[in-house]
Structure 1
Amino acid sequence: MPPDAPAPAVTARRILVAGTSGAGKTTLAGRVSAALGLPYTELDSLYHGPGWTPRPEFEDDVCAVVAQDAWVSEWQYRAVRPLLLERAELLVWLDLPTPLVLWQVGRRTVGRRLRRTELWNGNVEPPLRTILTDRDHILRWAWRTRRTLRGLDERLAREAPHVQVVRLRSHRAVERWVRTLGPRP
């Protein structure tokens, strides 16, 4: 979509938000849900059990979400991506610059740790020093996986041609697109 082109009206009722760790998937999915009056399910809340262990019911819970007529969620967790994509009508891809994403995930992680913010099922961010010892610390994970969505639009055109893709490459583009959303009639 060219920067000055009017955005097409969003009529989709099953919407995914994709992006690398820290891109803002959860925030945008919540905003889309609120703007369109569609139910939102945060996949992290279904995945993480106490002590950061994966919940055994995760895939069943995702199946229950996608069976609904309308929903908004994030497109993550490799095991359930096909389930989500099969029923999705629209995928909004947050394709933000890597330095911006790393800044966002760093700021978020430090803030959550300092405030000891409870996330899902009693979990909190680990001590900041674990960035040096934990290969899967969110900051290291964000860096290591920063390129995993390259070519996503072309891949989805082949694998899921029924899904409309909106690619947003800046905060300005996100804000412009969100302003096109509105409550359902």
Structure 2
Amino acid sequence: MTAPARILVYGVYGAGKSTLAAKLADRLGLPWVPVDDLLWQPGWVEVPVAEQRSRIEAVCRRDRWILDGAYHGWRDVVLARADLVVGLDYPRGLSFGRLLRRTVGRLVSREVICNGNRESLRSVFSRDSVLVWHVGAFGRARRRMRAWRADPSGPPVLLFGTPADLDRWVADLPASLPRSGQVPHRGR
């Protein structure tokens, strides 16, 4: 496999997609486009799906990118262009624990997440809470990643079941990987 120039990092909320995308961008010299910046306007107003799709299509037309998520209204666009999918297939307790710690930390620090948006007690305890979404989305995300890996017509999919496995893979990647280089990986 030649060096990937278009990478989708995928997993359930809290798995560490953005953290990994930033690390890969730095390590491989690829531009990272945070998906939340494309999907949310100030005040947590969701960008209409047609506009999300248009924004994602513009990113995916580029020769090089890393995206940290793919959602229902435009997932097909990303998969059609990705050279590699890196799936964070961690146990539910691990990803939920990370999400809970991150959410509490953001509540305390008032960290800006995207486009001026912040976590609030109201959002955390709402029906649309990211914590509630995690519970409902976990199984679907896991099944989706595993189906992608089994589909020979799609991009190669690397699934990592533990942070230690992922860390070893990242450590094996050469810094500033040349476009024609090889990506060391375990399995498909």
TM bin, normalised by shorter chain, reads 0.7 to 0.9
Which residue is equivalent to 2:186?
none
Counterpart mapping for 1:1-185 below 5 A? 11-56=3-48, 57-127=51-121, 130-132=123-125, 134-157=126-149, 161-182=153-174, 183-185=176-178
Code of the residue aligned with 1:178 in structure 2: it is: V
Please give the per-residue CA displacement for 1:72-131, whole angstroms capped at 9, x wherever unaligned: 11232211110100000100000011111111000000001111111112111021x654
Measured after TM superposition, the shift of residue 151 of structure 1 is 3.3
Q: Report the count of equivalent residues.
A: 175
Provide the alpha-carbon RMSD of the alignment.
1.8
Measured after TM superposition, the shift of residue 59 of structure 1 is 1.9
Code of the residue aligned with 2:62 in structure 1: it is: Q
Cα gap change, 1:154 to 1:142, in 2 (>3 Å): closer
Measured after TM superposition, the shift of residue 180 of structure 1 is 1.7
Q: Percent identity?
A: 35
For residues 42 and 136 of structure 2, what CA distance do their matches in structure 1 show? Answer: 25
Code of the residue aligned with 2:177 in structure 1: it is: R
SS of residue in 2 equivalent to 1:166 = strand
Q: Structure 1 unaligned runs (5+)? A: 1-8
Bigger mean CA offset, 61-70 vs 74-83: 74-83
Bigger mean CA offset, 72-81 vs 156-165: 156-165
SS of residue in 2 equivalent to 1:146 = helix
TM-score w.r.t. length of structure 2: 0.86
Q: Which 4+ residue blocks in structure 1 deviate beyond 6 angstroms?
A: none
Q: Structure 2 unaligned runs (5+)? A: 179-188
Code of the residue aligned with 1:35 in structure 2: it is: R
